[in-house]
Structures are given as C-alpha cells and as structure tokens.
Amino acid sequence: MNIPSELKYTKDHEWVKIEGDVATVGITDFAQSELGDIVYVEVETVDETLNIEEVFGTVEAVKTVSDLFLPLSGEIIEFNERLEDEPELVNSDPYRDGWMIKLKFSNPEEVDTLLSDEDYKALIGA
C-alpha cells in the first residue's frame, strides 16, 4: 500500500498536497483499490466555494459510485481534465497523474485537522 509521507489524508480516504494556499486533492491508493476499476470521475464544482466535508464530486467504479468530500474549505480552482478521457489514471497513479482537483483553501487552521501518513496507516490498518 502506497502512502506517501509528504501528503496529508482524510478519514474519507482523500489525500491532500499543500503548496502555499493551494491544495491538490485525490483519492488514496487504498481507496482506489477498494473501489476497483474507476470508469468515471465527475466534478461539477469548479469555481465554487464549498465548506470542509461538503461533496465536491463523485467517482464511479464498475460496482459503485462514491461521493468525494472536500478536505478543506475553499474555492475549487481546477479539475484534472485528463480524467474525463482517462479515469483509470486514478487507479494506475492516484498520487500524481490521477489527482482530481486543486483547491484554494480559505482556512489554514483546517490543515491541522488532516491526518498524517502514520495516522492514516492506523486508520486503514496498514
């Protein structure tokens, strides 16, 4: 199970990469393996400002559809458009090419609520 130490995580199995006041967000290796083959990623919230833990999109696998929850409050500024034609990138490279959104977060204190890699490993029993 790949759980990069430089990232932050949520209990909802999203990963977060913080760069200044922008967070790149995707789902974890654990989440993509649990979902199975991902066939569609839908994010219709670009340019919207949402609160922490609000649904910002969905990911559809062969057997199920799962909501995606915002790890930090802020404005969604970009969607990874490669996922429109290549949703399988979430399976093959969840931490690089399979990222989902970029978010300009508005409350830096919320970063402290995210899980470390060690906390996330404990959550999933890795």
Mean pLDDT for the stretch of residues 84-95: 97
- In this prediction, residue 86 carries a pLDDT of 97
In percent, the amount of the chain with pLDDT more than 70 equals 100
Cβ neighbors of 109 (< 8 A, separation 6 or more) are none
Pairwise CA distance, residues 36 & 60, whole Å: 10
pTM given for the model: 0.96
Residue 1 has pLDDT above 90, yes or no: no
Tell me what the pLDDT averaged over the chain comes to.
Answer: 97
Mean pLDDT for the stretch of residues 47-55: 97
Give per-residue burial for 44-63: e unless 16+ CB within 10 Å, then b. ebeeeebebbeebbebebee
Mean pLDDT for the stretch of residues 30-38: 96
- In this prediction, residue 7 carries a pLDDT of 98
Residue 107 has pLDDT above 90, yes or no: yes
Mean pLDDT for the stretch of residues 39-45: 97
What are 97's two structure tokens?
């090419």
What are 76's two structure tokens?
């969604």
